[in-house]
Amino acid sequence: MKPIFVRGVSIQFRLTLAIILSVALLITNQRLDPIRQSLSSVLSPLQYLANVPGVMLDWSAEAFATRNMLELQNKELLRQQLVMSERLQRFEYVRQENERLRALLGSPVHMDSRKMVAEVMEVASDPFRQFVVLNHGLQTGVYVGQPVVDAKGVVGQVVEVSELTSRVLMVSDTTHGIPVRVTRNDVRAIANGTGDIDQIELRHVAKSTDIIVGDLLVTSGLGNRFPEGYPVARVISVSRDDGQSYAVINAQPLAALDRIRYVLLIWPDETKPFTLPADVQGLIKNTADKATASATKPATSEVNQ
Is there a single domain that holds both residue 161 and residue 79?
A: no
Question: In this predicted structure, what is the pLDDT of residue 223?
Answer: 85
Domain count, the chain: 2
pTM for the structure as a whole: 0.57
Whether 43 maps to a domain, the answer reads yes
Per the domain annotation, does 76 fall within a domain?
Answer: yes
Measuring CA to CA, which residue among 141, 154, 123 is closest to residue 232? Answer: 154
In a domain, 6, yes or no: no
> Are 92 and 28 found together in one domain?
yes
Domain for residue 297, yes or no?
Answer: no
| 3-state secondary structure at position 72 | helix
Helix (H, G, I), strand (E, B) or coil at 159: strand
Per-residue model confidence (pLDDT) at position 275 = 46
Residue 2 lies in a domain: no
Co-location of 168 and 146 in the same domain? yes
183-218 b/e with 16+ CB inside 10 Å = b? beeebebbbbbeeebebbbbeebeeebebeeebbbb
- Is position 302 within any domain? no
8 Å CB contact between 264 and 148: yes
Residue 272: alpha-carbon gap to chain centroid: 22
Decide: 253 and 238 in contact? Cβ < 8 Å: no
The pLDDT of residue 263: 92
What is the structure's pLDDT at 273? Answer: 43
Q: Are residues 261 and 120 in the same domain?
A: yes
* Last residue in a domain, options 109, 133, 156: 109
Q: Are residues 131 and 211 in the same domain?
A: yes
Domain boundary among 109, 138, 164: 109
Q: For residues 232 and 178, is the Cβ–Cβ distance under 8 A?
A: yes
Contact (Cβ atoms closer than 8 angstroms) between residue 254 and residue 149: no
Q: Does 130 share its domain with 94?
A: no
Name 133's bridge partners.
122, 167
Q: Is residue 17 part of a domain?
A: yes
Q: Are residues 167 and 223 in the same domain?
A: yes
pLDDT number for residue 110: 47
Whether residue 84 is found in the same domain as residue 208: no
Which residues are CB-neighbours of 223 under 8 A, at least 6 positions away?
A: 179
Question: What is the chain's pLDDT, residue by residue, as a tens digit (305 residues)?
Answer: 555 555 666 788 888 888 888 888 788 777 776 776 676 566 656 656 766 777 687 777 777 767 778 888 888 888 888 888 877 777 767 766 766 665 555 444 444 578 899 988 888 767 678 999 999 999 999 999 999 999 889 999 999 999 889 999 999 999 999 999 999 999 999 999 999 999 999 999 998 899 999 999 999 988 888 988 899 999 999 998 888 889 999 999 999 898 888 899 999 876 544 444 455 455 445 555 655 555 455 444 443 44
For residue 244, give its domain range: 115-266
Domain CATH for 256: 2.40.10.350
Domain boundary among 109, 137, 167: 109
Q: Looking at the domain assignment, is residue 301 inside a domain?
A: no
